A = this chain, B = another copy of it.
Amino acid sequence: MNSKRTTPTLQDVANATSVSTATVSRYLNFPDQVAERTRKKVAKAIRDLGYSPNFGAKAMAARRTNTIGAIIPTMENAVFARGLQAFQDELRLHGFTMLVASTSYRPDIEEEQIRTLVARGADALLLIGHARNPEVYRFLKAQNVPTLVTWAFDAGSKRPSVGFDNRAAMREMATKVIGLGHRRLALISAETAMNDRAEARRVGIQDAMATAGLDVKDLKVVETTYGIEEGAAAFEQVMTSTSDTTAVFCGNDVLAVGALHRARDLGISVPRDVSVVGFDDIELAQVTYPPLTTVHVPHREMGRQAGLALTKLVKDGMAPEATELKTRIVFRGTLAPVNTS
């Protein structure tokens, strides 16, 4: 039909073997995932037609769209907005455009958006956290769309990530809080289902409790959706149900802002009556009253390094190394020694 074409293509191999181009592609990239009979047929056709996988690779490279997708749980948390801004700035330096989708922390929406971004030709994807349906990772592998996880670092994961250790970060904070004499602890947490960061932060507090000889079951946990109002309501729930609580951990700064506000409304003085600590260190944490003691997440540096790693991956095929960034505690005005008066 097209007499001008002289170099055999992936499609020619597929036609000659009556398999799909996806199967040929899988054979080339992950031969152990292809049935032996098919493998032999495809290998023969490649030899017969003189198909060169190298040429195919070049054609693939030329099909690059210079678009990288980022899928985040919510646009309403400034910490993601700031991190993505740095990610986008880095991508632009290398000629890539970023498209963002947000999931409202819903795995079904995330899957739909992954499919959409792949269908729209994204060269690569940035995902937040490791936890998702294994089917999704299989899909991304089959589609040959490289993926980088951020916002979480897990040395044990086989998937590369540019992130930080949520568990260790919260453990460090909890160790400080317990060191100030607090024993009755509560946590206002983001919902932990399919949110490995929120889960890790809770476990971090319990690590520190166990080390200090406290019963980890004594941690009062209230899970809530994201928002200032939600944080306020959860704080009231904590203080109503466990009025002896002396320190409230918040899974993120936005929940903490709500907690501080409700504390004032309830006539509870922070930090005199109750200490409140956050996580993220968004700009807002500096302008609450009192200013918020929180865990500083290096969101800009994380975005920049993730951008660089994904760029190298797409341009040069360099697999990113797992990169752990360090968090630190920023002491401001909402954490004090337990009030024993």
Which A residues fall within an 8 A CB radius of B? 1-2, 12, 15, 65-67, 69, 74-76, 78, 80-82, 84-85, 88, 92, 97-102, 104, 109, 112-113, 116-117, 119-121, 227-229, 257-258, 260-261, 264, 283-284, 286-289
Q: A97-B113, A99-B99, A261-B286 are in contact. List 11 more A-B contacts (CB 8 A).
A: A1-B12, A65-B116, A65-B120, A67-B120, A75-B75, A75-B80, A84-B102, A88-B102, A261-B287, A284-B284, A287-B288
Min CB gap A103→B, angstroms: 10
- Copies of this subunit: 2
Identify whether the interface residues of A are mostly helix, strand, loop, or mixed.
helix
Option from B74, B102, B264 in Cβ contact (under 8 Å) with A100: B102
- Residues in chain B near residue A117, CB distance under 8 A: 99
What residues of B have a CB within 8 angstroms of the CB of A12 in the complex? Answer: 1
User: What chain B residues lie within 8 Å of A69 (beta carbons)?
Assistant: 99
CB–CB B81/A85 < 8 A: no
From B84, B119, B287, contact of A228 by CB (8 A): B287
A98-B101, A100-B99, A100-B101 given; A258·B287 CB < 8 A: yes
Cα distance A183–B98 in the bound complex, in angstroms: 46
Q: Quick one: which of A76, A117, A228, A229 has the most chain B CB within 10 A?
A: A76
- Give Cα A113 to B66, complex, Å: 11
The reply to whether A116 and B97 contact each other, CB–CB distance below 8 Å, is yes
> 20 interchain pairs (CB within 8 A)?
A1-B12, A66-B116, A67-B116, A74-B81, A75-B80, A75-B100, A78-B78, A85-B104, A88-B102, A97-B112, A98-B101, A99-B120, A100-B101, A100-B102, A227-B283, A228-B283, A228-B287, A257-B287, A261-B286, A289-B289
